[in-house]
Amino acid sequence: MNLKGYRAAGILIGNSVQSMGFFGGLTSGFRGVMGGEIKEVTDMIHAGRQAAFIHMVNEAKHESVHGIVGVSSELRGLAGNSEFLFVGSGVLGNNPGKLFTSAGDAQELYCHMDAGYDPIHFVFGNIAYSVGLVGGIFGSLKTLMRGEIREFSDIFNETRHHALSRLVSGAVRAGANAVVGIRTNVMRFNGFHEMVMSGTAARHPHLPVECDQLPVTSDLTGEELWALSSMGYAPIKLLISTSVYSLGAIGGVKAIFRGLAQGEIGELTTLVYDARENVFDRLKSEANAIGAEEVVGTKTYIVELGSGLIEIVAIGTAVRKLPGFSVQTATLPCQAIIRDKDTWLNGDGGFELQSIRAGG
């Protein structure tokens, strides 16, 4: 960060311990029967994260730092309640302006700034959801057949896009026209699932004016975004597609017997192949609809949901060339691409290490 006029100023922490309360838990239980978003849980988690974030920002103001980089958050159980934790590294600048917060660590932030994305505010969007009893009944019947279970796919697709929409809304409120370095995490919480997406709301001077109301989104790494900018490309939208597939009762029995012998299990091979093709086709369709030239950084994830169900998720960033996009330096310094490595290698000493690291 010295190359951009900043120097480290210590670690900053903010936390908040909260309880859902009897009424919130009871209401959420009834809502969970129907499936989809559990709004009471979503709101409670959002409020907890926001409170912890504000505590960290207040500590930064007390320490008179000019920015917080490498902002990360955690949610953990604590004596029957929930602790929300935010950690970041404070920085001091040669030409300080308004306090900024960034999800990117020092290395990633350098790449963002060199590509023209000035950081404004750490933003996040979350959603708590459940497949629900109704989805479970219909889904259980569908598991007898091989193929996609649209009831489950629709719930998972809807929840992921809700979280992204809330993250974008936070960027608009911050006055940004881009959200870069988006990271996604899905966890279990009190019997439900929570998905949280976080990133850095930033401003690029050459993005179209309509991006003030609908900021561009990207989950590319800092190095990837810098490389795209050097070729004149800009991100348009983070694309997400998910499908839930069932092997089916007959296919499941066949796969079990095939698994007793060495060799390829054709039913599973075909199922996973079809599922991947399905999510890729959806990504391509959405990319074409928004006028993208390419979808880059595409990643796929497979999650076993149990009862013969698997979820296939594809994520990628749609991009296209825009005038005015370039980088400030011809090459990245080695400090911007060399990653820190953990020096603690956890063994079988009978305990686990929970480390808190911030990008300094």
CATH code, domain with 176:
3.30.110.70
- Which residues constitute the domain of residue 19? 2-239
Does residue 297 form part of some domain? Answer: no
Does residue 281 form part of some domain? Answer: no
Site of tokens 């290698």: 345
How is residue 339 annotated by DSSP? P
In which band, very low, low, confident or very high, does the pLDDT at 160 lie, cut at 50, 70 and 90? confident
Contact 311, 242 (CB under 8 A): yes
Does residue 348 form part of some domain? Answer: no
Q: Per the structure, how many domains does the chain have? A: 1
Does residue 75 form part of some domain? Answer: yes
Residue type, position 56, single letter = M
Percent of the chain residues past pLDDT 70, beyond the cut: 77
User: Tell me: the pLDDT tens digits for 117-143?
Assistant: 999 999 999 988 775 543 444 445 454
Does residue 254 form part of some domain? Answer: no
Residues with Cβ within 8 Å of 53's Cβ and at least 6 positions away in sequence, in order, are 14, 71, 73, 86, 122
User: Tell me: the pLDDT tens digits for 174-227?
Assistant: 999 999 999 988 887 666 778 899 999 999 999 999 999 999 999 999 999 999
Does residue 356 form part of some domain? Answer: no
| Helical pair 22-34 and 132-142, crossing angle rounded to 10 deg | 30
Does residue 114 form part of some domain? Answer: yes
Does residue 266 form part of some domain? Answer: no
Please tell me the pTM assigned to this model.
0.82
Q: How far is CA 209 from the centre of its chain?
A: 26
Sign of the torsion angle spanned by Cα atoms 46, 123, 213, 300: negative
The whole-angstrom separation of Cα 294 and Cα 288 is 9
**CB neighbourhood size of 213 (10 A):** 9
The whole-angstrom separation of Cα 195 and Cα 200 is 17
Q: How far is CA 8 from the centre of its chain?
A: 26
Contact 168, 156 (CB under 8 A): no
Alpha helices in the chain (DSSP H): 22-34, 39-62, 106-114, 132-142, 150-173, 222-230, 249-259, 266-289
The whole-angstrom separation of Cα 225 and Cα 219 is 9
Give 10's strand partners: none
Site of tokens 């933003």: 123
Whole-number pLDDT of residue 197: 93
